[in-house]
Homo-oligomer: A and B are copies of this chain.
Amino acid sequence: MKLEKELKLKQPLASVNHEALLSLVRTSTLMQKLSNRFFSKFDLTDVQFNILMILKAYGAEGLSQQKLSEQLVVGKSNVVGLVDRLEKAGYVKRTSHPSDRRFNQIVLAPKGAKLEQRVEQSYFKEVDRMMNVLAGTEKRVLIHAMEKIRQYILTSKI
Contacts and interface: CB of A to CB of B under 8 A. Distances in A.
Majority DSSP secondary structure for residues of A touching B: helix
A153 B130 contact: yes
A134 B20 contact: yes
A62 to B, nearest CB: 12
A73 to B, nearest CB: 7
Contact of A127 (B18, B134, B150): B18
Interface stretch (A1-9, A86-94, A101-109, A111-119): A1-9
A31 interface: yes
Contacts of A6: 150
Given A23-B143, A26-B146, A17 B132 contact: yes
Interface of A: 1-3, 6-11, 14-21, 23-32, 34, 37, 57-58, 70-71, 73, 124, 127-134, 136, 138-154, 156-157
Given A129-B152, A131-B149, 17 more contacts: A1-B150, A1-B151, A8-B71, A9-B57, A15-B124, A17-B127, A18-B124, A20-B131, A23-B143, A23-B147, A26-B146, A27-B146, A28-B28, A30-B153, A30-B154, A134-B145, A134-B149
